[in-house]
Chains A and B, each alone.
Chain A
């Protein structure tokens, strides 16, 4: 079966711009989570959605937002990009939540210049 698909794989943006990242979960999975991975901070939780509802949000500024559509696909948006937003953004999907085990995508590598 198809895995979790994240697009684009690589992205270069300028400070102050905004960016939208996309995630298509495994078919039938209703829970989608987003994580930021950086060498300094490691893996940090951004948010989790289930059936279009945000169930949890991490400690990130309001510039980071997300949403989930009725087909479970998800997007995250970062506005007013800062250099420190450069990271690998990972999307993960699960049937109903973390206890079912997440399947991660390969990530979107965002570079802010």
Chain B
């Protein structure tokens, strides 16, 4: 079974500063990788996904992530954050043909002015 580790539970950051959220997963077989964001009292919204091809994936709201197969990592980055980026971010992994997502514990990002 997949195991997903988000290395930081909380990340405080100043507005317009860059942010990186780290994610490692356990399996070395072919996987699909995702980042989701959850705003208070809402469901999850897909930021970006990696299925195959280029290891640098661009998503919505200026986010991007890089897939590193040798390090089994899928770190999320944004070069300049806004107050509205304050939310909880979840990394998720799925094995091919598994039809389920395994989520990390989440990283709470708090953007301060």
Contacts and interface: CB of A to CB of B under 8 A. Distances in A.
Interface stretch (A12-20, A60-68, A72-80, A91-99): A91-99
A103 to B, nearest CB: 7
A42 B98 CA distance: 20
A50 B46 contact: no
Contacts of B102: 45
Contacts of B105: 42
Contact of A56 (B34, B41, B98): B98
Contacts of B43: 4, 90, 92, 104-107
Contacts of B100: 33, 45, 48, 56, 58, 98
B99 A97 contact: yes
Interface in B55-113: 90, 94, 98-106
B54 interface: no
A98 B104 CA distance: 16
A4 B43 CA distance: 10
Majority secondary structure, A binding face: strand
Given A99-B51, A99-B94, A56 B99 contact: yes
B46 A42 contact: no
Given A98-B32, A98-B94, A103 B46 contact: yes
30 contacts: A4-B43, A35-B103, A42-B103, A42-B104, A42-B105, A43-B90, A43-B101, A43-B103, A45-B100, A45-B101, A50-B99, A56-B98, A56-B99, A56-B100, A90-B43, A92-B44, A98-B32, A98-B34, A98-B94, A98-B98, A98-B99, A99-B32, A99-B49, A99-B51, A101-B34, A102-B44, A104-B36, A104-B45, A106-B42, A106-B43
Interface of A: 4, 31, 33, 35, 42-45, 48, 50, 55-56, 58, 90, 92, 97-99, 101-107
